[in-house]
Amino acid sequence: MSLKVGDIITFERTFGIKDVELFTKVSGDEGIHHLTPDEQGRLVVQGLLTATLPTKVGGDHNVLARTMNFEFIRPVFTGDSIICEVTIEQFEKQDNRTRITASFKCINQHEKEVLRGNFAGVIL
């Protein structure tokens, strides 16, 4: 898929308990809120696990990120379905690579924003 300025790419994922357990093991982020379920039986999903949504979209398009900025708005819980919407802000072909800049927002199943930010990099 060839990208252009203004394109919007979406990706949706529902986080489960196994996702949080695996990320806890890999990252070492063992905050009690990631290990102990709340009164509804949910765990809080690590912020950086939630941040894998826009990085997945970048990876799908072979983006080699140079900068990434995240603003975590509200917690994500296991069982939440998150839609990540990435908007291409800059897509500029140069010699042997393409510069890309994009913004993103992630919204839960209740239409509440949970994460926003941007990234910039190159496609080789």
Beta carbons of 70 and 112 less than 8 angstroms apart: no
Residues in the chain: 124
Please report the pLDDT score of residue 37 as a whole number. 87
Neighbours of 75 (CB within 10 A): 15
**pLDDT band with cut points at 50, 70 and 90 for residue 1:** low
pLDDT in tens, 68-104: 999 999 999 999 999 999 999 999 988 888 999 999 9
Beta carbons of 81 and 114 less than 8 angstroms apart: no
Domain residues of the chain, as ranges?
A: 8-123
* Architecture of the domain spanning 8-123: Roll (3.10)
Please report, rounded to a whole number, the percentage of residues in the chain having pLDDT higher than 70. 99
State mean pLDDT over 8-13. Answer: 96
| DSSP secondary structure letter of residue 78 | T
State mean pLDDT over 104-118. Answer: 98
The pLDDT mean for the chain works out to: 93
